């Protein structure tokens, strides 16, 4: 297991500590478990977003609206 040292502003630190206390109590590993849980949730959310995007690209009929034909149409 690796060690990462970070600096947080006071507000973020208090949010992290409050979250850890709510989720895991005052256990010794509460902060680490809270951060690992957040990273796992972020990864899961990104996978879901990628799946939705892939489905939309594979089935353009389901996407409402007109799909751009050229890159220039994206930046009008």
- One-character DSSP codes across the chain: ---------HHHHHHHHHHHHHHHTT-TTHHHHHHHHHHHHHHHHHHHHHHHHHHHHH-GGGS-SPPPSSGGGGG-
pLDDT digits (tens, 9 = 90+) for 34-48: 999 999 999 988 888
Domain residue limits, the chain = 36-60
> Would you state the pLDDT for residue 53?
81
Q: Return mean pLDDT, the chain.
A: 85
> Would you state the pLDDT for residue 46?
87
Residue that wins the pLDDT comparison between 8 and 68: 8
pLDDT digits (tens, 9 = 90+) for 18-71: 999 999 999 989 999 999 999 999 998 888 888 888 887 777 666 566 667 787
């Amino acid at each position: 297991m690796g060690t990462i040292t970070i600096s947080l502003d006071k507000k973020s630190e208090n949010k992290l500590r409050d979250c850890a206390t709510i989720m895991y109590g005052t256990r010794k590993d509460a902060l680490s478990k809270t951060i690992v849980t957040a990273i796992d949730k972020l990864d899961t959310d990104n996978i879901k977003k990628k799946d939705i995007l892939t489905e939309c690209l594979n089935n353009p009929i389901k996407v409402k609206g007109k799909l751009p034909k050229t890159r220039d149409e994206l930046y009008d």
